[in-house]
Structure 1
Amino acid sequence: MPFSVLVTGANRGIGLELTRLLVSGPKPADTVFATCRNTSDCKDLQDIQKSHSNLHILQLDVCEEASYPRLVQEVSNVVKDGGLNLLINNAGSASRGRELSVVTSEDMVQLFRTNCVAPLMLTKAFLPLLRAAAADPAFAGDVMSDRRAAVLNINSRMGSIDDNKSGQRYAYRTSKVGLNSVTRSLGIDLRPDHILVVSMDPGWVRTRMGGANGKIAPEESASRILTAMAKMTNQHTSTYVDHFGEPILW
C-alpha cells in the first residue's frame, strides 16, 4: 500500500536528514512532503528533489494557522483517497536566553506557540487525511503503526520534568513539556481511529539549534528516529521515548 509522509521544518538539520532518508532510504516513502518557511531558500531540499520525484516541497510557517487549509489541500491533491500516513511535527524553535534574569513573557508565549500549539493545530488540520490512511482496508483491527497512520512529535529531553536537574531554559522547557501533554491526549483521543501518536527526543544533535557540541550528527539522529518509529505499535501510543524507542520519564 502507498506510504506518504509530511515533515515540517525540513530545510535543515534533523528535518532535512529525515526527508533525505524518507525519499531514498532502505524503505523509501512513495510520497514525501517537506515544508519550509521560505521555499526560495531551501537549496538542499531542491537538490534532493532533482533526483527524487517523490519529494514535494511546500511552504509553511507553522505559526500561520490560516495557511493550514491551503497546505492540507495541496497534500490532498497528491495523496487523494489514500490519505497521509505519517505526520512528523519537527519544526521548532529555541529561546535566546537561558537564565531567569533574561526570560520574558514574550519568549514564553512565542515558544509555546511554535513548539506546542502549532503541532497540535497542524495535527488537527490533517486529521481527515490521517483518518483516511488509517481506514485503509489493508490494515485489520486495532493494529497501529507508522505505515498505517501516525503522528510523530519531535520533542527534547528537556520536555521531561523528571530529568530537569539544571533549571533555566524556561520558555523552551515549558513548550516541550506542553508538547508531551499534547501527545498524551492526542494518543488517547485518536486511539479509536487507530492513529499512533508518539513524542520522541532526537538526542543532542549538532544543528543550529543544538549547537556545535551536540553528541550526534543530524543524519545519525534521523536514522535512529525512523528506525525507532518503525517499531512503534499500539503499546507506544501516547508515550514519550528517546531516539532508540526507549521510554523517558515525564
Structure 2
Amino acid sequence: MAFSVLVTGANRGIGLELTRRLVSQSGTDQAKHVFATCRNTGDCKDLDDIKEKHDNLHILELDVTDEASYPRLVKQVEQVVKGDGLNLLINNAGFANNQPLHELTSEQMRHMYDVNCIAPIMLTKAFLPLLRAGSHANPDLSGEIMCWKRAAVVNINSRMGSIADNGMGKFYAYRASKAAQNAVTRSLGIDLRPERILVVSVDPGWVQTRMGGPNGKISPEESARRIVSTLSKLGPEHTSTYMDNLGEPLPW
C-alpha cells in the first residue's frame, strides 16, 4: 500500500522531527514518499543529513506565502506519486510573535494571518486533487473508513488558538490567526468528509523550539512522537476536531 506524506516548514523544530520520524517508520506505517518543504533548499543541512540515510525523502522548496508557486510544488509531488496521490498533508509551517498592544500593527496581523491561516487552506485546496486520488487509491481501505493512510489534512495549531482557553490575553495576532485556522479546519472537515478526507487541528504542545522558546515543556522529538502516534489512531469520529498531541479534545 502506497503511503505518501508532505510536511511544510520541515527544516527545523517540529517539522524536522516529524519528517525524521515519518521517513524512518517501518512495517505498515512506512511511508513510500515523504516530501519535506523549506523556504531555501540550499540551506537545510539537517534535512540533507536525513536524506543521506533515507531515499524516500524528497526535499522541495516552498515559501507558504507564495501562492503562485503552489502549482509547481503540486506538479513536483505528482510526478513522484503518480496515480497513487498524496495521503497526508501536514500544514506545519507557522509564524509567531508577541507584540504588545501598543506596538501591534495591522501589517503584523495580516502577515500572521497569511502564514497561519490563509496558507494552510490554500495549500490544501491546491493539493486536493492529489488527496482525492490518495483517498481512492488504496483498495484495502474500503467503505467509509477515514484515516491518515487514506487521506488526511493535519493543521499544526496551538492551544493559543482556543478562545475558551485564553485566560492570560496577549499574543493578539498569533491567537487570532490560529483561531481562524481552527475555523478553517472545522469547515474543511465537514466539506471533505464525503470524499473520506480526514481533517484535524493538532496542538503540538509547548515545544522547545525557536518559536516555543527554551522554556518549553517537551522536546521537538517527543512532540513529533506523540503527534505521529495520535495520527495513526484517528478515525471518522475525529474529523473536524481540535486536539492536543495525545489526541485529547481541546475547547474551541
The two structures have a TM-score, normalised by structure 1, of 0.98
Residue equivalent to 1:175? 177
CA distance in 2, matches of 1:10, 1:163: 28
Q: Percent identity over the alignment? A: 66
Consecutive unaligned residues of structure 2, counting only runs of 5 or more, are none
Partner residue, 2:93: 91
Q: Distance in 2 between matches of 1:77 and 1:196?
A: 24
Structure 2 residue aligned with 1:231? 233
- Asked whether 1:105 is paired with 2:106, we answer yes
Q: Distance in 2 between matches of 1:101 and 1:241?
A: 32
Q: Give me the TM-score of the superposition, normalised by structure 2.
A: 0.98
Q: Which amino acid aligns with 1:194?
A: R
Q: In the alignment, is the contact (CA less than 8 A) between 2:98 and 2:170 conserved in 1?
A: no
Q: Return structure 1 stretches of 4+ with deviation > 6 angstroms.
A: none
1:141 Cα offset (Å) = 1.4
Aligned to 2:124: 123
Structure 1 gap ranges (5+): none
| CA distance in 1 between partners of 2:74 and 2:59 (Å) | 13
Q: Which residue type is aligned with residue 24 of structure 1? A: S
Report the secondary structure of 2:35's partner residue: strand
Alignment correspondent of 1:185:
187
Q: Is the 8 A contact 2:153 2:197 kept in 1?
A: yes
Structure 1 residue 96: deviation in Å? Answer: 4.7
The residue that corresponds to 1:199 in the other structure is: 201
Question: Are residue 134 (structure 1) and residue 135 (structure 2) matched?
Answer: yes
DSSP 3-state at the match of 2:72: helix
Q: Which residue identity does 1:163 align to in structure 2?
A: D
Paired letter, 1:9? G
> What one-letter code is carried by the residue in structure 2 that aligns with 1:131?
R
Query: How many correspondences in the alignment?
Result: 249
1:125 is paired with a residue of what secondary structure? Answer: helix
Aligned partners of 1:82, 1:28: CA distance in 2, in Å? Answer: 15
CA distance in 1, matches of 2:47, 2:98: 27
Equivalent AA in structure 1 for residue 199 of structure 2: V
Q: For 1:51-86, what per-residue CA distance to the aligned partner results, in whole angstroms no more than 9, with x for missing partners?
A: 110000000000000000000000000000000000
Which of 180, 205, 214 is the matching residue for 1:212? 214
Tell me by how many angstroms 1:32 deviates.
Answer: 0.2
